[in-house]
Amino acid sequence: WIADASLKVDEWYDPTLTLIYLPHLDYALQKFGIDFDKISPSLNEIDALCKQVITYYEGKGAEVLLLSEYGITSVNQPVHINRALRKAGYIQVKDELGLETLDAGTCGAFAVADHQLAHVYVKEAEEIPKVKDLLSGLPGVEKVLDKQAQEAYQLNHDRSGDLVVVADKNSWFTYYYWLDDKVAPDYARTVDIHRKPGYDPVEMFANPDIKFLKGKLGWTLLKKKLGFRYLMDVIPLKAELVKGSHGRIPEDQADWPVLIGAKQAKEKEGVAPTDVYSIIHGLVNRK
């Protein structure tokens, strides 16, 4: 539907620049990792869809770029940074009807996790070295970058974490901060990207422990249609289900993201992520 909508918008408005996100491989690879037996259906679907979209735009004389923002690799170890911070006394929570909600404003330190990177915000500057030492010792952590070390990776933005944590090749970071699943917040078991303090790829899975899952989903949707309050709480709290992640620079260049179709990219070996904007901007201006 995303592809169809994009073509329809082009027919209506003929925009100068169209950006289209096709999520097939993003979802499949996070679910299964690099397992071609399981991701082949998504590979075939995206191949056919790209052919349709590219053929349409090239027929209109447009220059088409294919860009993967990142290369996803297989992982097998979730790392719970916020739980480690909580055990060390840095995390504060609020009790909401018996469930725990992160109280970021009163935390001594907390992490906002995003796949294989996490931004850690520390309230008191003198605590930064202690937090860095704590996180450096966690299994699955490869690097902990303070503001000075972030400069080499162009991560030293005003809003970046006081520390940026990088996972090793087999690991990724959850946002989980509770120590007992019984007090996990209500949003933990739902698709709720705006309340969770970090990205949650487990949202792609339905809880395998729920009996008669389709019946539960149908009943919940019926309650929605009838105007009753409902909670689509079918997401498991099983981070080990995730088999693919990204964020760190993959060791094998075959796993790096790609930019296909740009003449500027062909003229040199590799393109820095910071070059992508200028490449697109240059093509738009040339048109």
Q: What is the tens place of the pLDDT at every residue in 203-220?
A: 999 877 766 666 666 656
Give the pLDDT confidence score for residue 206 in this predicted structure. 83
What pTM did the predictor assign?
0.89
Q: Which of the residues in the chain have pLDDT under 50?
A: none
pLDDT of residue 160: 97
- Look at residue 272 in the predicted model and tell me its pLDDT: 84
pLDDT of 211 reads: 66
**pLDDT for the residue numbered 287:** 57
How many C-alpha atoms does 280 have within 13 Å on its Cβ side? Answer: 15
pLDDT of residue 240: 97
pLDDT of residue 232: 58
pLDDT for res 284: 82
